Structure 1
Amino acid sequence: MNIITTNSLCKQYGTALRVKDLDLRIPKQVVYGFLGPNGAGKSTTMKMILGLAKPTKGSIQVFGKEVNAKNRIPILKHVGALIESPSYYGHLSGAENLKIISMLKGLPDKEIDRVLKIVRLENQKNKKVSQYSLGMKQRLGLAGALLGNPKLLVLDEPTNGLDPAGIQEIRELIRSLPEEYGMTVMVSSHLLSEIDQMADHIGIISKGELVFQDSLSVLHKQSTQKIAIRTLNNQMVAKMLQEQGVSFQVQEDYLLLPKIADQALFEQIKTLLEKGAKIIRIEERSKNLEDIFLEITGTAVSL
């Protein structure tokens, strides 16, 4: 069962179409990475899923139920969210901030200690939030989203602005949630390297349109390896390869051949040399995820 399904979801502001015909399929108990350049429509999509923005067109189902004005609140009782930067009362402690949220949700006080332990803030719960580091504030925001043990967690750029240590902490926490707590996590980012280390499934959005959606392993399979050969007589070697029925591509000063077993490659190179190929360099190449992202979105990827 898909936890989130959207059909032809659109959002228009004035004459600008920010989200166009989006068909999301987010499976149960996975980390779903929602990836795209800044301004691609990630936050707008998440706000529509949470009922914070009204779709111009299309439909949204969460837990198999269509999100509308009548059932939005019952559905959201099982959803935790952290959209953009979390806000706090700086003069209150972490526990006191969570107390306010738990009271609004009608939850018992024991929930506060439970979520503080999950985000590893139990030893700083009585410290004023104004004295928290940025990483601690992000973890407190996650704790607030985890109150009530939601089935679905929607996180918008949760590692934004954190140092490497803070990023690793949040990443490890998110990775643990499906297995340890049975949650489904939808997490957005413009950082491909982050999603690669965090997600099971991935959706890539560009200019409001979904350009890729599948498991992360399927995306990795697009990173096919090639053998790059550079010679002093490329035109002659290209003709030899055509005569041998070998498929190849020309890229700058290199001929790119399909990856084959070492022995077969040895025989192929030996044959080319015997026929007069002046080979000066042989390299093994593969597209990394950044290259694939660039091809899919047609934009520069943030690293």
Structure 2
Amino acid sequence: MDMVIQTTGLCKKYNDILRVKDLDLAVPVGSVYGFLGPNGAGKTTTIKMLLGLVKPTAGSIRVFGCEVNRQNRIDILKNIGALVEAPSYYSHLTGEENLRIVQTLKEVPEKEIDRVLHIVRLENHRKKLVGQYSLGMRQRLGLAFALLGSPKMLILDEPTNGLDPAGIQEIRDLIRSLPIEYGMTVLVSSHLLSEIDQMSTFVGIINKGELIFQESMMALHERSQQKIALRTINNRSVEAILQEKGIRYEESDGFLLLPKLDDEMLAHFVTFLISRQVGLVRLEERKKSLEDIFLELTGTAVSL
């Protein structure tokens, strides 16, 4: 699989404390890569290193297949759009006038303004003063700044922070559409698991500066193993039956936890228990939520 971003052993130390430690990121081409972790985990520091705003203490960064160095850094960054923390703008100017300033600084064609306004759905608000924009509209304007010049890669740091549910939905839908409609790769950071789950195709989880999980969202969901929880009048007799039939089980709070069985097998097993006059008290399907998996991986109670 081709990678837009690859880091190897990336580290950043502040005052003898490693804020990012041996980070090996791999962001596939055409993905929405969710960079997930608690506040203070090292997400923004990592993003600033990727953008050349902070110098790594150790390790290397490859972007578009090239190792980033002083000589090629500017050329590489021309193909990356970024929104780090809150966007900056002139509130006494219109959205279009703000974009014209950035368009001039980036030295991109003027027609780019119309294109990005269409992408972020602000065409009907281009003449409106930015000071009169809602928070969601201002965040979309920040995305428009990042999209000027048709970058191959977009890096967004907590783009839904502070937005109301409607604003979050707007940004989420927009981010999901970028790889499909415009062929972009997007790296989006967040401390909200629900947001990453609804936006991303790949996920990297960082905690205390270390990458503790990196795979497709599908692989993360697969960790949510389903089990059958069984409670009877006499669990000991059921344990003997399970051992006799070679069925694996665990015991938890008065329940016997069995691997997930298909409906036919489960019906057969329940019928068998009843034929043995086992008093069945409760039968339920259990599945770990993504939040449970996240807590297991990070080992901490964090904002989800």
TM bucket (normalised to shorter chain) is over 0.9
The answer to whether structure 1 residue 264 and structure 2 residue 265 are counterparts is yes
Cα deviation code 1:156-206 (max 9, x no counterpart): 011111111111111111111112111100001111111111111111111
Deviations 1:79-129 (A, max 9, x none): 000001111111111111111111111112211111011101111111111
Map 1:119-138 to 2 at 5 A: 119-138=120-139
| CA deviations over 1:3-33 (Å, ceiling 9, x no partner) | 0000010111112211111101111111111
Matched position secondary structure for 1:3:
strand
| 8 A Cα contact 1:290 1:301, kept in partner | no
2:49 aligned partner, one-letter code = M
> Which piece of structure 1 moves more, 104-113 or 152-161?
104-113
Task: Tell me the equivalent position of 2:71.
Answer: 70
1:131-146 to 2 correspondence within 5 Å? 131-146=132-147
Shift of residue 300 of structure 1?
2.4
Q: Counterparts of 2:163 and 2:282 in 1: how far apart (Å)? A: 42
Q: 5 Å matches for 1:39-188?
A: 39-188=40-189
- Give runs of aligned pairs for residues 179-198 of structure 1, distance below 5 A: 179-198=180-199
Taking the aligned partners of 1:86 and 1:129, their CA distance within structure 2 comes to 12
Report the equivalent of 1:25.
26
Return the offset for 1:238: 2.5
In structure 2, what is the Cα distance between the partners aligned to 1:82 and 1:54? 19
* Partner in structure 1 of residue 216 of structure 2: 215
Q: Within 5 Å, give how 1:203-282 maps onto structure 2.
A: 203-282=204-283
8 Å CA contact 1:191, 1:301 repeated in 2: no
Q: Is the 8 A contact 1:81 1:155 kept in 2?
A: yes
Cα distance in structure 1, aligned partners of 2:240 and 2:303: 40
In 1, the alpha carbon distance for the partners of 2:237 and 2:21 equals 48
Any gaps of 5 or more consecutive residues in structure 2?
none
Q: How many residues align?
A: 303
2:214 alignment partner, SS class: strand
Q: Partner letter of residue 171 of structure 1?
A: R
Deviations 1:190-243 (A, max 9, x none): 111111111111111111111111111111111121111122333332233223
Structure 1 distance, partners of 2:114, 2:209, is 40
Of 141-150 and 213-222, more deviation after overlay is shown by 213-222
Whether the 8 Å contact between 1:33 and 1:200 is mirrored in structure 2 is: yes
- Partner residue in 2 for 1:38: 39
Question: Contact 1:6–1:58 at 8 Å: present in 2 too?
Answer: yes
Identify which range, 231-240 or 137-146, moves more after superposition. Answer: 231-240
Distance 1:236 1:53 in 2: 63
How far 1:270 sits from its partner (Å)?
A: 2.5
**C-alpha distance in 2 between matches for 1:92 and 1:250:** 65
Structure 1 regions of 5+ residues with no counterpart? none
Segment drifting more, 2-11 vs 61-70: 61-70
Separation in structure 2 between the aligned mates of residue 111 and residue 7 of structure 1, nearest angstrom = 35
CA distance in 2, matches of 1:246, 1:287: 21
Does the C-alpha gap of structure 1 residues 277 and 16 become closer, same or farther in structure 2, counting only changes over 3 Å? farther
The percentage of aligned residue pairs carrying the same residue is 65
- The aligned counterpart of 2:289 is 288
Q: Would you say the 8 A contact 1:248–1:258 is kept in 2?
A: yes
Deviates more, 1:268-277 or 1:109-118: 268-277
Which moved further from structure 2: 3-12 or 225-234?
Answer: 225-234
Please give the TM-score of this superposition, normalised by the length of structure 1. Answer: 0.97
